[in-house]
């Protein structure tokens, strides 16, 4: 039985595979850019032209990068029998929504989606191991 636990945030995801008492950890880097658009600027001349910040361009780029990140994660967990998703913020919920929309068979294997603060690699392993070993399924 192959169980996979994922701790994810915007920058990376730690995938912990628990199979027959053995655990293996893999990290997937997201490549989602952290952007801070510089505000519009004024011309040196009075009543001159102003530059406009194109927020929609940045938002659209971020959506595409997030979709590629989620696709890469879905490909890695495709053969799991049970999945647990953890992470700070709403990234775990967004991933669960993505699975619901685009990968229904995988979404049915998700046993929990919970918030968890930033953790070290060993803490992530322990969290996933405790979830699957304690029989919280």
Give per-residue pLDDT as tens, 55-107: 788 889 899 999 999 999 999 999 999 999 999 888 999 999 999 999 999 99
Is residue 48 domain-resident?
no
| Total of domains in the chain | 1
* Under 8 Å between Cβ of 48 and 40: no
Q: What is the CATH number of the domain that holds 67?
A: 3.30.420.60
Instruction: Report pTM.
Output: 0.82
* Domain that includes residue 129, residue range: 2-37+54-133
* Under 8 Å between Cβ of 81 and 3: yes
Helix residue ranges per DSSP H, the chain: 55-76, 91-102, 104-109, 121-133
**Placement of tokens 């989620």 in the chain:** 70
Is residue 63 domain-resident?
yes
Is residue 44 domain-resident?
no
Cα 88 → chain centroid: 10
* Under 8 Å between Cβ of 23 and 133: no
């Amino acid at each position: 039985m192959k169980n996979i636990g994922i701790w994810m945030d915007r920058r990376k995801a730690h995938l912990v595979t628990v199979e027959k008492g053995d655990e293996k950890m893999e990290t997937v880097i997201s490549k989602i850019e952290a952007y801070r658009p510089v505000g519009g600027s004024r011309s040196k001349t009075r009543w001159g032209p102003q530059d406009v910040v194109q927020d929609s361009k940045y938002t659209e780029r971020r959506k595409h990068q997030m979709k590629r990140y989620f696709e890469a994660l879905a490909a890695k967990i495709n053969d799991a029998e049970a999945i647990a998703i953890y992470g700070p913020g709403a990234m775990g919920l967004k991933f669960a929504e993505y699975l619901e929309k685009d990968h229904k068979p995988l979404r049915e294997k998700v046993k929990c989606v919970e918030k968890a603060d930033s953790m070290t690699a060993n803490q992530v392993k322990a969290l996933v191991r405790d979830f699957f070993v304690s029989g919280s399924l």
